[in-house]
Structure 1
Amino acid sequence: MVASVAMYPGYGWGWWLDDTSTLACHATWPIHETLVNASTWLIVAFTVERCVVVRFPLLKLRLCTPRNAGLCCGSLLVLAFVKNFDLFFVDALVVDSHSGGAICSVPLQYRDYINNYRPMIIFVTPCVIPTGVVIVCNWAIIRTLRRELMQTAISDSIISHTTVTCLAVSFAFIVCVVPAHVFYVTMPNWPMSIQNQHYTFGSLVLLQYANHAVNLFLYSLTGAHFRCELIALFRSCTHRWRSTSAVGCRMASATCMCLFRREFGIDLEML
């Protein structure tokens, strides 16, 4: 959403949010990078939590709690902000020699850092490490389920659904996130014009943003219980809205979500 306001109007109509004021120039890029990095690492955190639940079920009640989930989300957001804190100081409003207006640009003293060192930091922290963790955790989940549940009566359905879901999320994460980072690091070596580089990188960035919205649909397609509870949530909300008021809709949504959490907890206990 930050990118939709900060970047797309600029590429489409020439109106850039970071050119409007000094504050916008200094804050737009770091806020955007902070939210993107936090979103990526939230997927990693959820994958690690799933791995703990499957491989170490005795630790589930102690570690996988709403309080710890909130602390984890807050910590990831703070760490992402700290990682991108340097971006608050590398941009500045300068006068464009062609148009005569003020544009947000990187001064000469910071361009070597932005062009040569910053891409490697971006490649390692939001790409290489998260991808490795997601692959390893999902491999551990699938291996544990196949080893411990293959001999049980519930093995076929649980292994099938969980394996498909894990593989779908991991595959989507790798396909959507990795190409943009790889192209950003290797962009100077590609034999194409600057304009084509911008078009290509912009398309890959759109693919990266899609990763943060696709998981809901992946879980709906691969998880029968999740899909059933999601449909029940919307049906209950619609029914309440038609018969009572918007307040009743919110209460019904909260009730359905509580029911979903309880049923999902029961499924995890089965694991």
Structure 2
Amino acid sequence: MNDSLEVEPSLSRYYVEQTQYYVIPFLITFGILGNSLSGYVILKTKLRQLSSSIYLLTLSSNDSVMLITIGIQWLSQNDIDLYNQPILCQVITYVSDLCASMTVWLIVVFTGERFMVVKYPLRAKFLCTVRRAQLIIIILFITMLIFYSPLLFIAGLEFSNHANRTVCKPKKEWHRVGVIFNSFDFILTCIIPVLIISVLNSIICQKVWKFTNLRRKMTDDFQMNNLTRGTHVVNHLSVKADKTSYKMTKMLLVVSTVCLCLILPSFIMRFIVHLNTLGLVIISDNFITAQLYVQFLYYLTFGINFALYCISGQNFRKAVSATFCKCRFRHNTRNTVTGTERTQYSSLSTHPTIFRNRKTMGVSDISI
């Protein structure tokens, strides 16, 4: 839960806020649309059979809920105040912090799975299953539900001298508890995930690089050596399976790295704000302006999933094409079949003898 900062706004901060006024609604709209398309593609194709896709499906749903909470907060700043209301204040704060933490830890989980795939490929076939992925998500969700439950008591409506109205912020009587909770929350959602993702991604990059060189060498050997057809087919299938896993690993590596780069500045700003809460740092208006820029990058994390999947995932692009071209193909097939039936009917009508013979045969068949 972020503490509110009360600093007199400058002209540059005003321009940034006006820019966000127009940009954030587009980000929310296209973000929710993209997350919905991602989920639809995963559910309608063979991607749903992959354990990694279960994490991506959950991530898309979670990010959509997060974008909705961002939209509610945006409306509250533009004369539709739903956030600064009793009960809604606590619920929205709880849900937004829960979703933010779930996003980070889902990235940690599927990064850990990709680490298992590249480091221990034989074990990964038994450990990285759809059922196990569903179990991990349920455990993670329940853990986050319990951990963030104190926010329902810490958050509340308090009068702000700067805004000259009642706003949703930490209650004064819960201030000490809020500071302690923010400290643990920062460690849980910032420090630990960033360290884990950074270390695992570095190892995955090394393994992917080695696999790329090995696959290139194996391909050259297949072309140089005179192999039997059966051996060639077996080796080709093995390389093809490894190549599919490699493509998924590369896509998730790009997703986790981009998300890490987008949320890391926000974590740094949050740490400075926490120091300000402890009275160790004084916040200036330039810092608030920079925080607005960083905040937009943080919001971008929840709305670019579909774009990242399409850019970095060849299999996902094929799934998108297969999903949205299937309807068009079915429509064209129906038209083709209908046209063929009409052609056959017209040809039969131009040959009455043949038509009568077929009709007679049909009657005799029924009689028998």
Counterpart mapping for 1:248-259 below 5 A: none
Partner of residue 8, structure 1: 74
Distance in 1 between the 2:246 and 2:118 partners?
15
SS at match of 1:212: coil
**Shift in Å, 1:164:** 5.9
Correspondence for 2:300: 210
190 and 227 in structure 1: CA distance in 2 versus 1, 3 angstrom threshold: farther
The one-letter code sitting in structure 1 at the alignment partner of 2:200 is C
Instruction: Tell me, in whole angstroms, the C-alpha distance in 1 between the residues paired with 2:252 and 2:162.
Output: 52
Contact 1:165 1:223 in 2 (8 A): yes
Q: Displacement, 1:47?
A: 0.9
Counterpart check, 1:110 vs 2:168: no
| Equivalent residues of 2:262, 2:298 under 8 A apart | yes
Residue in 1 aligned with 2:17? none
Q: Give the match for residue 196 of structure 2.
A: 133
Looking at structure 1, the residues matched to 323 and 101 of structure 2 have their Cα atoms a distance apart, in angstroms, of 30
Show CA shifts across 1:223-246 (max 9, x none). Answer: 3333223222221144447878xx
What are structure 1's unaligned runs of at least 5 residues? 245-271
2:214 counterpart SS class: coil
Distance 2:116 2:177 in 1: 39
Cα deviation 1:1-32 (Å, max 9, x = unaligned): 23233311122x14332333x32122110111
Could you tell which deviates more after superposition, 63-72 or 231-240?
Answer: 231-240
Taking a change above 3 Å as real, the CA distance of residues 84 and 225 of structure 1, as seen in their structure-2 partners, is same
170-179 vs 49-58, which moves further: 170-179
Distance 1:101 1:40, change over 3 A: same
2:361 aligned residue: none
Structure 1 CA distance, aligned partners of 2:268 and 2:218?
Answer: 39
Structure-2-length-normalised TM-score: 0.56
Compare 177-186 and 137-146 and name the one that shifted more.
137-146
User: Aligned residue for 1:258?
Assistant: none
Aligned partners of 2:107 and 2:256 also within 8 Å: no
Alignment partner of 1:228 is 2:344: no
Deviation at 1:52, TM superposition (A): 0.9
CA-based RMSD of the aligned residues comes to 3.3
What letter corresponds to residue 136 of structure 2 in structure 1?
A: C
Q: Residue 214 of structure 2 corresponds to which residue in structure 1? A: 151
- The answer for the alignment partner of 2:142 in structure 1 is 78
Cα separation, partners in 2 of 1:83 and 1:206, compared to 1, 3 Å: farther
Q: Which runs of 5+ in 2 are unaligned?
A: 1-66, 220-241, 335-368
Change in 2 beyond 3 A, CA 1:241/1:109: farther
Secondary structure of the structure 2 residue equivalent to 1:45: helix
- The Cα shift of 1:176 comes to 0.9
Is the CA contact 2:94–2:149 (under 8 Å) kept in the aligned structure 1?
yes
Task: Determine the structure 2 residue equivalent to 1:179.
Answer: 265
Letter in 2 for 1:81: L
Distance in 2, matches of 1:154 and 1:230, equals 32
Q: Which has the higher contact order (CA 8 A, sep 6+)?
A: 2
Kindly report which structure 2 residues correspond to 1:179-198, keeping only aligned pairs within 5 A, or say none: 179-187=265-273, 188=276, 189=281, 191-193=283-285, 197-198=287-288
**Distance between the aligned counterparts of 1:163 and 1:152, measured in 2?**
15
Same amino acid, percent of matched pairs: 21
For 2:257 and 2:160, how far apart are their aligned partners in 1?
A: 43
Distance 2:163 2:193 in 1: 42
1:32 aligns with 2:96: yes
State whether residues 142 and 163 of structure 1, in contact with CA within 8 Å, keep that contact through their aligned partners in structure 2.
no
Q: Which secondary structure state, in structure 2, belongs to the residue aligned with residue 72 of structure 1? A: helix
Cα deviations by residue, 1:159-179 (Å, 9 ceiling, x for unpaired): 996786465334312221111
* Distance in 2 (alpha carbons) for counterparts of 1:174 and 1:181: 10
Q: TM-score, normalised by structure 1?
A: 0.73
Question: Are the aligned partners of 1:138 and 1:166 in contact in 2 as well (CA < 8 Å)?
Answer: no
Deviation, structure 1 residue 186: 0.6
Considering only CA atoms, is the larger Rg found in Structure 1 or Structure 2? 2
Q: Is the 8 A contact 1:119 1:184 kept in 2?
A: no
Change (3 A) 1:235 1:50: same
